[in-house]
Amino acid sequence: MQRTTVKVTDELDAKLRHEARRRGMTVSELVREALEAHLGGRRRVLRAAGAGRSGRGDVSTQVEEILRAEWPERS
């Protein structure tokens, strides 16, 4: 892997660091991901993947019961 130095504005640096923290990754990882996406890299990231994650493992089998519990007025 090669090291590259890039000069960015203070504002862009703050945005990079904030987004990297939010995603739980390093700034280097985020920059590589952005460069790959912009330059047509091999790896594609689905940004919405996991956005609706509930933490429950029984959603597909218990969907009706879960919906009734969450929205009893619609039953």
Residue 62 lies in a domain: no
Does some domain include residue 10? yes
Spell out the per-residue pLDDT of the chain, length 75, in tens: 899 999 999 999 999 999 999 999 999 999 999 998 888 756 666 666 666 677 777 777 877 887 888 887 765
pTM of the model: 0.53
Task: Provide the number of structural domains found in the chain.
Answer: 1
Does some domain include residue 6?
Answer: yes
Domain encompassing residue 17: 1-50
In a domain, 29, yes or no: yes
| Domain assignment of residue 64, yes or no | no
Q: What is the pLDDT of residue 14?
A: 96
- Residue partners of 74: CB distance under 8 A and separation at least 6: 67
